[in-house]
Amino acid sequence: MTSRNSRSFDFAVIGAGVFGAWTAHFLRKSGASVALLDAYGPANSRASSGGESRIIRMGYGPDEIYTEWSLRALPLWKELLAQAGRPELFVETGVLWIAPEADAYALATERSLAKFSVLFEKLTLSDLQRRYPHFAFDDDAWALLEPRSGVLLARRAVQTVVECCATAGVEYFAESALPPARAGNPIEISTSSGSRISASSFVFACGPWLGRLFPGVLGARIFPSRQEVFFFGPPSGTSQFQPPVTPTWLYLADEFYGMPDIEGRGFKLAHDRHGPPADPDSQLRVATTEGIEFAREFLGRRFPLLRDAPLVESRVCQYENTSSGDFLIDRHPAYENVWFVGGGSGHGFKHGPSVGEYVAKKLTQGGEFEPRFRLDSKSIVQHRSIH
């Protein structure tokens, strides 16, 4: 994994997060020669793909394209992780959607799960109280349980994809890339060390750095936001907050989500509402007192046995939002051979295999891109609709 002064490839993928790694994987699988570059390393702590864990779920309310892509992604994750000897990087915790009565998003999720034959259970309040006595539910609560969904151990999963890429012949460069410097289709890009990478096409999958690399096109259309994540320590001598007793969960009314205690890291929870703007290079990655207090209030209200649980770990990451929350997958308007792949928007990690497969097919076989992923669908005003 060393950089050389000048190399030529069919494709160069800039960014070794979940979107870039899986794109490189499928491009190489097509027979193409591929370079994969990352300034800080695969799934590093500054990246939106960093951190220990991500939910993989099938439910997406009315946005059925993401249900379809999740259904495609999960077996691809399992296949690659099994082939790499790392099947434990997917944990089948189940995913529990907890909703108030007549919640439109939950009802749309129920319809889409049924439409695509996803295995799920619909649970009443009495069902919930019997199965999960350590949760606190409102009087009108009901839920959907996806028993085969769960958690991807994110950082290690992405690193495993990149290792598989390298084994298959993708060349990895620990370099940061500079954007094309002149008009016309670029034939090469320069890196921070002065190396040059030439390629027929360039795929920029740089997450929160996309706006900085392409300020004129994306500077006002990519919105990195600061997101705080907390891990609380369950009581000693109990497995009550571990899977399968506790599933991954989403309280729709509260906009909180979380995971059971996996690998002894603690009971994870986070607020899904967008935080303030963030710089992926320089933002302070220490949780605020206000954020901790807000999380603890929710914890004590919904999980009374953890009311006094110690905070054992916290993380500050970022979402990389588009105006709607839809992905950005499109060509640069001025360069026919420069492509943008991003806009994970806090929900994209699970879709890495589907994104990579889709992008590789479009780059090698052509065809129109999904309209809702196109650049011209992205506004400079945020109005989130994808969750």
Distances (CA, A) of 200 to 12, 33, 203, 336: 8, 10, 10, 10
Could you tell me if 138 and 229 lie in one domain? yes
Peptide bond into 333 cis (omega under 30): no
Task: Assign residue 377 a region (left: φ > 0; alpha: ψ between -120 and 50; beta: otherwise).
Answer: alpha
How far is the C-alpha of 316 from the C-alpha of 274, rounded, in Å?
A: 13
> How many domains would you assign to the chain?
2
Domain assignment present for 382 = no
58 residue type, one letter: M
pLDDT band at residue 339 using 50, 70 and 90 as cut-offs: very high
Domain assignment present for 384 = no
pLDDT digits (tens, 9 = 90+) for 159-218: 999 999 999 999 999 999 988 876 678 889 999 888 899 999 999 999 999 999 999 999
Could you tell me if 110 and 200 lie in one domain? no
Domain extent at residue 257:
91-149+225-319
How far is the C-alpha of 307 from the C-alpha of 23, rounded, in Å?
A: 43
Q: Which positions ≥6 away from 366 have C-beta within 8 Å?
A: none
pTM (2 d.p.):
0.96
Q: What is the mean pLDDT of residues 332-337?
A: 92
Domain assignment present for 76 = no
Domain assignment present for 304 = yes
Point out the domain boundary residue: 319, 340, 364. Answer: 319
Query: Which segments of the chain are extended strands (E)?
Result: 6-14, 34-37, 54-56, 90-91, 95-99, 121-123, 142-146, 150-152, 171-173, 188-190, 196-204, 223-232, 248-251, 256-259, 267-271, 311-321, 328-331, 338-342
pLDDT value, residue 185? 81
What length is written for the chain? 387
pLDDT digits (tens, 9 = 90+) for 348-378: 999 999 999 999 999 999 998 899 999 999 9
Could you tell me if 235 and 306 lie in one domain? yes
Could you tell me if 175 and 284 lie in one domain? no
Beta-bridge mates of residue 338: 202
Place of tokens 């864990």: 53
Could you tell me if 236 and 297 lie in one domain? yes
How far is the C-alpha of 353 from the C-alpha of 48, rounded, in Å?
A: 16
Position 29 pLDDT exceeds 60: yes
How far is the C-alpha of 344 from the C-alpha of 51, rounded, in Å?
A: 15
Point out the domain boundary residue: 279, 297, 319. Answer: 319
Could you tell me if 253 and 272 lie in one domain? yes
185: CATH: 3.50.50.60
238: CATH: 3.30.9.10
Could you tell me if 239 and 369 lie in one domain? no
Could you tell me if 218 and 173 lie in one domain? yes
Coil vs helix vs strand at 90: strand
pLDDT digits (tens, 9 = 90+) for 48-64: 999 999 999 999 999 99
